[in-house]
Amino acid sequence: MKVVIVGGVAGGATAAARIRRLDEQAEIVVFERSGYISYANCGLPYYIGDVITERSALTLQTPESFFNRFRVTMKIRHEVMAIHPERKTVSVKNLETGDEFEESYDKLLLSPGAKPTQPRLPGVGLDKVFTLRTVEDTFRIKEFIQANQPKSAVLAGGGFIGLELAENLRELGMEVTIVQRPKQLMNPFDPDMASFIHNEMRKHGVKLALGHTVEGFEERNGGVDVLLKDEQPLHADLVVLAIGVTPDTGLAKEAGLELGIKGSILVNDRMETTVPDIYAVGDAVQVKHFVTGQDALISLAGPANKQGRIAADNICGGDSHYTGSQGSSVIKVFDMTAATTGINETNAKKAGFSVDTVILSPMSHAGYYPGGKVMTMKVVFEEETYRLLGAQIVGYEGVDKRIDVLATAIHAGMKATQLKELDLAYAPPYSSAKDPVNMAGFMVENIANGVLKQWHLEDASGLPRDGSVTLLDTRTVGEYSRGHIDGFTNIPVDELRERLGELDKSKPVYVICQSGLRSYIACRILAGNGFDCYNFSGGFRFYDAVMNDRCLIQSATACGMDQ
């Protein structure tokens, strides 16, 4: 059997190695148009920022090392120009010599990946306007920085690459601005959770120009003007386009393979395309979202590696199936870690789910052990069934650990109420006896049993201030004096039992505290005394962070808070 693979990196290189492990006699040829067949894509921004200092550290394998280990022929700087399914060949061009030839195959695997989205804007081709996707892109940006010592950079786009590059350029001492049309960074997160990411970026000096449309680029004064719709241009010495990626599927389209959303390659759960003996994996393929079951494009290294393995199994006569992508991801944002899995509240509602959420602010480990830091968790679940749909966490320690537990729970089909049952490792330096994941489960169970009723951030502006409801802040007098929501009366929770006479039992009570814990205790006190009580999800800390961020983005003056 002869297998031709188009494209290396995550999907193609993984498949090549797996095919060899399953079939020692197979002839395997990989064509890669770049100069690198297996490289650490996610490490590219960190090479630019001198966190990774050796070029060789980016290349996981070379053609020589791959051949020595697996006897796979890796032909770099070779571009497949056309696929001929009718005669089972591909046309290939040697990019160094210009020679063209045909290569036959019994099985063909496409792993072309995705390319940076290139908007059709004036000035995109300027020599100070870059994209970052390949090792070659990285070296170009690095060499430009070393040669020109730029003092400022504008990054168009606030996804993974944009944030990682912003951090690394700041660490090099540059002034950095992120500009994009959406009013939040990192779309896998809900806008409220993205507020914490925004705050961390601002804290480290990154300027955010959110909600602005880029209309082009012009050279001026030795740098580049980033032209914005209805705004003054942003000037910088260096511009990087990081507005997303587009499936690189021109070959597949010309060969007659059926395409899906955004021109991606349609595959079944065996990674087979609509043409016999042709498989496809990675960023170029359309997949099913594991949670929603809907068609999706999810450009992450983990899914690409799994798909490469599955395709290899099936090429070699096996029967492996891809169950879908869940979108689990984590990113370092200066000192902070932000992670997500499944779907967020915004996308859950768009997908037609009736959802609820719990928001909590647990410590990363036992409070009495030194060094613990607060994280913010948002867990999304389906109303009535309590099916776990997704989670987002931002914090400083222990975030990756918790998101992986929640990702596993989602994959296992657990209900959010079952999180309380998980038997998780505990020692004071690492966690609490009631782990944050367990705590989320306790909260959802309280909702399911009618012990906890919530009100949410989106309810805040609509709460009546006419005396028809009671608005109660149960923090200390000092906390209240440093900032509170307009219209809320302060009765510290430890004084509440003695001051119940100040409240009207006929009116619903909407309660808030700093994190949600004291207000929950207050609600239990009130409910036990005949009051109808609702606890704010997330606490004033959460409310304050989100509302301040919104005011900065919208340049609003009336924020609904007394400071």
User: Is the dihedral angle over the CA atoms 276, 279, 284, 288 positive or is it negative?
Assistant: positive
If you search the block for the tokens 């770049």, which residue do you land on? 34
Residues 465/483, Cβ–Cβ less than 8 Å = no
DSSP line for 372-393: --B-EEEEEEETTT-BEEEEEE
CA distances from 144 to 76, 148, 243, 440 (A): 25, 6, 21, 48
Q: Is 555 exposed, middle or buried (0-12, 13-18, 19+ CB in 10 A)?
A: exposed
Q: What's phi and psi for 106, nearest 5 deg? A: -95, -40
**Active-site annotation holder among 42, 523, 533, 551:** 42
CA dist., res. 409 & res. 406, Å (int) = 5
Count of C-beta atoms within a 10 Å radius of residue 86: 9
CA dist., res. 447 & res. 38, Å (int) = 48
42 is known as an active-site residue:
yes
Per residue, what are the HEC states of 455-509? ECHHHHHHCCCCCCCEEEECCCHHHHHCCEECCCEECCHHHCHHHHHHCCCCCCE
Q: What's phi and psi for 389, nearest 5 deg? A: -110, -35
- DSSP character for 272? B
Nearest to 101 by CA among 88, 85, 90: 90
Active site residues: 42
